[in-house]
Structure 1
Amino acid sequence: MSEMQTSPENGISNEPYEVLSSEELGKYLVAARDLTPGDLVLTERPLVFAPKAMPDPEAVMPCVGCYKPIFTDAGERCAKCGWPVCSGNCPGLKDIRHHAAECEVLSVRPDCVLNDMADYYRHDALLPLRCALLQKTDPEGWKKLLEMQSHMECRTPGTEAYDEADEFIVEYLINNFASKLDDKIKKLYDITPELLHRICGIIDTNALEIRLPQGTELNALYSETYKMEHSCTPNTKHTFSLTPKDRKDLYTITIKAVVPIVKGHHISTMYSHALWGTQARRQHLKDTKYFSCKCQRCSDPTELGTYLSAMKCLGDGTKPCDGIHLPEDPLDDETDWACNKCSVKVSNSQVNMVISQMGEEVENVLMMGGSITMLENLICRLSTFLHPNHYHLYSIKHSLIQLYGRQPAYTSHEILDKKIKMCRDLIAITKALDPGNARLSLYNSILHHELHSALVMKCKIRNEDCSAKKVEDLKLYLAEAKTAIDIALSSLKDDMEEVSGKKLQDVLNNSKRDFEKYCKEKKISV
């Protein structure tokens, strides 16, 4: 691989990273010095951002000035362009980084409607429009935007990505707005179908999603962050500033190392879900980012020893086998799956069909808020075919441990022991996949909290022979419970801007207070 080193773009020699480039990766970041967990890699304001459409836009839409959810049919309208807003006094309406620049373009369509609102006000088209408006509002930012990959060679007419962008964004912006601009405004902005398609490619390839506390979501582009390459075992974590003192710092991204990064090693992030199996992750990355991941985890049939995608061998029909099926070459989409104990092989298409059917069943049960009985029955059925660590079983078990010990019929020693083992097993998988809490911090925190709860509950109920527990036994349980609650809280340290992080922290703090009170009552020091 040929590499060309370029100087850090801000010119500061003490930067923690350098920008390099290669034919295979394009631009990417490497550590300019040894980095330790918690070290700042970079922080930057967004180049451009805009709201995504909400799940039910006919009922609720985001305000175009502050992105607060508003009732579609009852909300106020921007006095100039007619788009739904929370209030005519929303500060974002006059802010060039929010609504001010686009308002001039959007206002060329004079009429407002009350029917088919989701088609009339397409919020997903706002980010491409705001990108195009950088030509005038931020010429330097516009140059940086055009440096980003668009993968237009993969987005040709007839492809799903091109046709979707054409129908829902390009034609919408051209027909309703760009074609109606007067000559004076047209000279300021080059808004053509070709340019909009390129911008859509840039957004799909490089945009990051930001979840806001009020329930809406944004997409944002960052001029330096986009250079970070993907890895399914990322060594950094990113957070967004959602409540800054200065509004100009809104949505600033902060990227920190979560594991040691040796000088010269690549700095990476993750663009897929850490709890998906290798084939699902690689397919998602091909579909959305147009590359085939070859990272350490994707290259390892066992996925770092977790066996997250492994299947059980059912034998050759004449005798059973207790072996497991793994892909012979996980980087080959058509690879056979071979048993590690017998000669039986299964085709990739057969595996995909089974896993897809199981995935639908798991998703349906979890969406319904499955009961303990439903979840246990599902585990029992799927365990015939799947390795105990399979990601479908992980999902079910993660739900199940949050029910065990909380319902009257499920608080016995046997159930609590089952819950404790399940927690420990899932914690081991989570730690192997994400040792630095880059992607699974909430999962990890919940697992340790549930382990803590089960251990404390074990202390509080009498032995099966109705005798009280010995102090030595209590100390063992409580020592592990203390470690678990401390890890649960520590896992959340970078998630305090997230609503889910704050809520979980409140629950954990209450559990810790109850724990300390119990230890004091029992006069046990741990």
Structure 2
Amino acid sequence: MESENSDYEVHSSEELGRYLVAARDLSPGEVVITEKPIVFAPKSTPDPEATMPCVGCYKSVFTDVGERCAKCGWPVCSGNCPGLRDPKHHKLECDILGLRPDCVLDNMADYYRHDALLALRCLLLQKADAAKWQHLLEMQSHMECRIPGTQAFDEADEFIVEYLIKNFLSKLDSGMKKDIPDISANLIHRICGIIDTNAIEIRLVDGVELQALYTKTCILEHSCLPNTKFNFDLSTRNKDDLYKISVKIVTPITKHEHISTMYSHALWGTQARRQHLKDTKYFSCKCCRCSDPTELGTYLSAMKCLGDENKPCEGIHLPEDPLDDETEWACSNCDVKISNSQVCCVISQMQDEVDNVLMMGGDVTVLENALCRLSTFLHQNHYHLYSIKHSLVQLYGRQLAYASQEYLEKKIKMCNDLIDITNTLDPGNARLSLYNSVLHHELHLALVMMSKKANIDGSIKNVDTIVPVLREAKKALNISLECLKDDIEEASGKKLYEVIEQSNREFERYCKEKNVIL
């Protein structure tokens, strides 16, 4: 056991490796770790043929018309970008990237591989910062699992290792080799393993994403019910503090309890989360949520039982042992069981349908039809249905055809149902703050619209009737803003916060018109 400070202790075990436990009772809002990154670099953009991040400051630039670094030719926001001369950003790598003399305008995504920059910046620490290099080498790489023939090894080999060696590292002269003495494929593969296992994503204000490595934060253990949240310094005046991470407690932690984060998606079902963690982090999660067939009473993965050829059934199928990949799924109401492979097949097919429906955008009829079809097979709280419902609540009330009292009541119920699921799976808003904020904002809008609806006889509702509704609307609005308190510097969080603030102003005007004081 290592004692780090009064907040936590570093423990280790064969199963978990190093992990953190609370050295005292910790309360929501307390910050237990603050640290600067060892190294960071931009990720590729979703559409690199259209936009790429500047290698100096990471602003998004148009790929085909943007400026290029005068020394290496990589896309930049401006030839005067300060990051081009900063050793923490582009300066150290620039000479190496400049060893490839040509610039291209075609197949830019393959030519300028931003996903290889973090590995290169890690290599450069060998001489640039011996202490950081040592911290880097102490991180877990899981090389025993990343052997030739595995997807992780083959992808790293093609897109990072061969790319760096062929285009740049094989061209180093004797002087440059002094700054980066070990450029072996084995070392680069190890660095790729370290990055895949430990790197943390940082979303910048304009939507560009970085990857960064942190000495202490990487020790945090995974849980599908995390008790911490990450915040990043994105706009600090002190450039040395840029991308500094703060690990904040979001739910109460008692002394000796493990301090945890989450490396998967909170709105995936248990099978999907556990498979993702096996594929990317090389461990099988056994947390309280994964161990519970009902996923903390949310039934997020539950299937409906269709009975047998003799009679239908209204029960639900749940895994008998969610930690067993070969488990059978038993009905709560009859003797019918189905295999895990059958469930996986059905869920995979439904995932494709949900993805296709959501890609089509805001069509209420299409979404409702998909919801009706999938509801035949899935529990009403299933994560596939959650995705569709989360889209629907943002459409109900937006068009006249879907603004009737019936639709508003449906929207209110759907919002409350989804809020209950969200709060159960993420009580501290560690992972689902944006989802939660949207749901409370939509609930607010629906309640305000309900207050404006006429009575059944066509008469206008009096103030006494609408005050309780407006109180609920105000409460929902306040919660939606509170959910975003840690996300305002991020692009999506900032945009959503501005929308909700506008709703707040409109709500205050409406209350003033009605002479309502809440």
Length-normalised TM-score, structure 1: 0.96
- Aligned partner of 1:440 in structure 2 is 432
| 1:72 and 2:63 correspond | yes
- Aligned partner of 2:191 in structure 1 is 199
User: Conserved in 1, the CA contact under 8 Å of 2:207 and 2:491?
Assistant: no
Q: Give, in angstroms, the shift of residue 187 of structure 1.
A: 3.2
| 1:416 and 2:408 correspond | yes
| 1:286 and 2:282 correspond | no
- Aligned partner of 1:232 in structure 2 is 224
| 1:185 and 2:176 correspond | yes
User: Conserved in 1, the CA contact under 8 Å of 2:362 and 2:395?
Assistant: no
Q: 1:512 and 1:62 mapped to 2: Cα distance?
A: 35
**Cα RMSD (Å):** 1.3
1:65-99: CA deviation from partner (whole Å, max 9, x where unpaired): 11122222322222222222222211111111111
User: Conserved in 1, the CA contact under 8 Å of 2:45 and 2:208?
Assistant: yes
Q: How does 1:212-291 map onto structure 2 within 5 Å?
A: 212-291=204-283
Q: Does the residue aligned with 1:196 lie in a helix, a strand or coil? A: helix
Q: 1:510 and 1:119 mapped to 2: Cα distance?
A: 42
Q: 2:318 and 2:510 mapped to 1: Cα distance?
A: 47
- Aligned partner of 1:159 in structure 2 is 150
1:120-168: CA deviation from partner (whole Å, max 9, x where unpaired): 2211111000001111111100000011100000000111110111111
- Aligned partner of 2:365 in structure 1 is 373
Q: Give, in angstroms, the shift of residue 209 of structure 1.
A: 1.1
User: Conserved in 1, the CA contact under 8 Å of 2:56 and 2:81?
Assistant: yes
Q: 1:112 and 1:501 mapped to 2: Cα distance?
A: 36
User: Conserved in 2, the CA contact under 8 Å of 1:413 and 1:464?
Assistant: no
Q: Give, in angstroms, the shift of residue 470 of structure 1.
A: 4.5
Q: How many residues are matched?
A: 517
Q: 2:432 and 2:50 mapped to 1: Cα distance?
A: 32
Change (3 A) 1:488 1:115: closer
Match of 1:83 among 74, 82, 92: 74
- Aligned partner of 2:164 in structure 1 is 173
Q: Give, in angstroms, the shift of residue 21 of structure 1.
A: 1.2
Match of 1:55 among 36, 41, 46: 46
1:370-416: CA deviation from partner (whole Å, max 9, x where unpaired): 41111111111111111000001111111101111110111111111
| Range that drifts further, 59-68 or 432-441 | 59-68
Match of 1:404 among 396, 400, 412: 396
In percent, how many aligned pairs have the same letter?
71
Q: Does the residue aligned with 2:211 lie in a helix, a strand or coil? A: strand
Q: Give, in angstroms, the shift of residue 59 of structure 1.
A: 2.8
Q: How does 1:331-342 map onto structure 2 within 5 Å?
A: 331-342=323-334
Q: Which amino acid aligns with 1:78?
A: C
| Range that drifts further, 345-354 or 192-201 | 345-354
- Aligned partner of 1:311 in structure 2 is 303
User: Conserved in 2, the CA contact under 8 Å of 1:42 and 1:256?
Assistant: yes
- Aligned partner of 1:130 in structure 2 is 121
Q: How does 1:508-519 map onto structure 2 within 5 Å?
A: 508-519=500-511
Q: 1:111 and 1:513 mapped to 2: Cα distance?
A: 54
List alignment gaps of at least 5 residues for structure 2: none
Q: Which amino acid aligns with 1:73?
A: D
- Aligned partner of 1:34 in structure 2 is 25
| 1:465 and 2:461 correspond | no
Q: Does the residue aligned with 1:326 lie in a helix, a strand or coil? A: strand
- Aligned partner of 2:2 in structure 1 is 6
1:11-41: CA deviation from partner (whole Å, max 9, x where unpaired): xx43x22211111111111112111110011
Change (3 A) 1:457 1:113: closer
Q: Give, in angstroms, the shift of residue 519 of structure 1.
A: 2.4
Q: 1:256 and 1:173 mapped to 2: Cα distance?
A: 37
Q: 2:511 and 2:108 mapped to 1: Cα distance?
A: 58
Change (3 A) 1:419 1:114: closer
| Range that drifts further, 227-236 or 477-486 | 477-486
- Aligned partner of 2:384 in structure 1 is 392
Q: 2:423 and 2:214 mapped to 1: Cα distance?
A: 29
Q: Which amino acid aligns with 1:139?
A: A
Q: 1:315 and 1:90 mapped to 2: Cα distance?
A: 65
User: Conserved in 2, the CA contact under 8 Å of 1:312 and 1:385?
Assistant: yes
Q: Give, in angstroms, the shift of residue 109 of structure 1.
A: 2.2
